[in-house]
Amino acid sequence: MLHGSLWDKIVWFTIPLALTGVFQQLLNAADVAVLGQFVGKNAMAAVGNNTALVGLILSLFMGLSLGANVVIAQNIGAEKFDKVRTTVHTAFLMSLITGIGMVAVSELIVSPIFYLLSVPPEVEEAAEIYLRIFLPGIPGIIVYNFEAAILRSRGDTRTPLIALIFASTMNIALNLVFVLKFDWGIEGVAVATDIANTCAAIMLFVVLLKTDGYLRLDFSEMKIDRAGLKEIISIGLPAGVQGMVFSLSNVLIQSAINSLGPNVMAGSAAAFTIEINMFCIMNAFGQAATTFVGQNYGAGNLARCKDVTRTAIKIGSIVIISLSILILYFVENLIGFYSSDPAVIETGAIRLWFFMSAEIVNVFMEVLAGSLRGYGFSTAPAVITLIFACGIRVFWVFVIFEMYPSYKVLMAVYPVTWIVTTIVLVFAYRFYMKHLKVVSL
C-alpha cells in the first residue's frame, strides 16, 4: 500500500472486499428469494420490512469497526506494532461485549418500532417472528465485522471473503432444508441466517488465533486498552452515528413504503437485495480509500494519499456505470427471480431505475467520505450526511410524500439526497486537503 502503482493494488484489495459485502448481503437475499418462491409474498415482505431496522441496529458497530480499521492501519504505516497489538485485542473484546449487550436492547425495542413503522396486519406477525429469531445472531455479525476490519487493516481482504462464501453457501443450504423439508417457513430462514453469521465469526476468530505477527489474538493479552479504545471510538463513533441516522431515515422511508401495501413492500424488498450489492461494491472502494489513505498518512506520504482518492474514484466510476447498465437491461428478469407476481416485478423495477440511474454519484460520496476517515476526519462526513442526506429524507417523507403519496415520488428522494450530499462532501474534502498537515501518530 505504501509503494509502487496504485490502481492494481486498489483493484486487488477492493475485489475481495466487494465480494465479501455481496456474500454478506446474499444471506438476506437468500432469505427473501426462498420465502418469495416457496412461502409467499407476505413472508417476503416481512423480511423486507426488517431490513432497514436491522441496518439501524448494526450501523453503530459497523462504524466502530471502521474506527478500528483506521487506527490499526495508521499504526501499521507508522510501524508502531506494539500499539497495533493492543488495538487488535481492544477491538475484538469491544465487539464481543457490545454485541451481546445489543441483543437485549434490541429485543426490547421490537414492539415499539413495529408500531412506529405501521406494519400492515397481514405482514406484522411474520415480520416480528423473523426479527426476534434473527436478533440473537447479531453478536456473530458484529464480531465478524470487527475481525474483518482487523484483517483488512493489513490489506487482507481475501480471508473475510472466504469465510463469507462458506457462510452464504451454508445459509442457502439450510434455508432450503428448513423450508422445504421441515416446513419451518420464516422461522427456518431466520435460524439459518443466525447459524451462518455465527460460523463466519468463528472462522475468522480461529484465523486470528493462528495468524503470525502483530494481528494475532492471544488470550494472555486479551484486555481493553483505554487509549486504543478512545482512538477507535473517536474515529468510529461519528461514522457509526452517521450510519444509524442514515438507517433511521431509511426506517422512515420503509414506513412510507409499508403504507402502500404488501405488493409494494415485496417489490421494494426484492429490489433492495439487488441495489444493496451495488452499495457493497461502492462501499468497498470507500473502505479501500480509508485503508490506503490511513497507512500512507501514517507513513507521512500526503501526495500518495491524494492519489489514492483520485484512483479509487476513477476505477469505481467505471465499475459502477458498467454494472448499472447491465442491471437496468435485465431489470425485470432480476426481480422475477424473487417473485412471479406482476405487481411485485413492476414495483421492484421502478425502484431499481431510480437507484441505478444515479449510482455514479454514490462512488464520489463513498470514496471522499472514506478518504476523510483515513486521515482521521470522521466527524465531517458524519455531520454532512446527518444534515443533508438524512435531513432531506425526513423532509421528503413528511412533506413531499404526504402531498404526493406515490411510490415514484418516494423513490426520487434517493438520487436527490445523494447529489446534494456529494456536492457538499466535495467542498469539505477540498477544505481539509488545503489545510492538511502531517502529524505524529
Residue 412 CB burial class (10 angstroms; 0-12, 13-18, ≥19): middle
Question: Smallest Cα–Cα separation from 178: which of 338, 34, 47?
Answer: 34
245, 385 Cβ separation under 8 angstroms: yes
Conformation bin of residue 155: beta by default, left when phi > 0, alpha when psi is -120 to 50: left
How many of the other CB atoms lie within 10 Å of CB of 256? 21
pLDDT at 337: 83
Q: How far apart are CA 209 and CA 218, in angstroms?
A: 7
- Rounded to an integer, what distance in angstroms lies between the CA atom of residue 241 and that of residue 114? 22
**Helix boundaries (H) for 135-261:** 138-152, 158-176, 185-210, 226-258
CB 258 within 8 A of CB 49: yes
- Within a 10 A sphere around the Cβ of 321, how many other Cβ atoms? 14
Please state the pTM of the whole predicted model: 0.73
Query: CA torsion sign, 293 to 296 to 297 to 298?
Result: positive
Q: What is the largest CA-CA distance in the chain?
A: 62
DSSP, res 6: S
Q: How many whole angstroms separate alpha carbon 410 and alpha carbon 398?
A: 11
Calpha distance 62→20 (Å, rounded): 14
Cell readout for 47 is 423480511
Distances (CA, A) of 342 to 44, 200, 262, 278, 348: 15, 36, 13, 24, 10
Query: Helix, strand or coil for residue 417?
Result: helix
Which residues does 261 contact at the CB level (< 8 Å), separation at least 6? 120
- Quote the pLDDT of residue 440: 47
**What spatial distance separates the first Cα and last Cα of the chain, rounded to whole Å?**
18
Q: Hunting for cell 408500531 — which residue is that?
A: 115
Question: Alpha helix (H) ranges present in 259-358?
Answer: 262-298, 302-329, 331-336, 342-356
Q: Which residue has the cell 445472531?
A: 137
Closest by CA position to 46, among listed 136, 125, 135 = 125
Cell numbers for 161 = 471473503
Record the cell numbers describing residue 36, joined without a space.
418469495
- Residue in the structure block whose three cell numbers are 503470525: 212
Length of the chain: 441
- Its sign, for the CA torsion 177, 183, 184, 186, is positive
Compute the radius of gyration of the chain from its Cα atoms. 21
What is the pLDDT tens value at each position of the chain, 441 positions in all? 778 889 999 998 888 878 877 777 766 677 777 887 788 777 777 777 777 677 767 777 878 888 898 899 888 888 889 999 999 999 999 999 988 888 887 777 777 777 766 777 778 888 888 888 988 998 999 999 999 999 988 888 889 989 988 988 898 899 999 988 898 888 998 999 999 999 999 999 999 999 888 899 998 889 999 999 999 998 888 878 777 777 777 778 888 888 888 888 888 888 988 888 888 888 889 989 998 998 888 888 888 999 999 999 999 999 999 999 999 999 999 998 888 888 889 999 999 999 999 999 999 999 999 999 888 888 888 888 888 888 898 899 999 999 999 999 999 999 999 999 999 999 999 999 988 775 544
Angle at 120 between CA 119 and CA 125, to 5 degrees: 80
Q: Which three cell numbers stand for residue 268?
A: 421494494
The pLDDT assigned to 244 comes to 75
Which cell goes with 217?
A: 489474538
Please report, for residues 68, 340, 359, 364, 413, the alpha-carbon distance to residue 352 in angstroms, rounded to integers and kept in the order given.
33, 17, 10, 20, 13
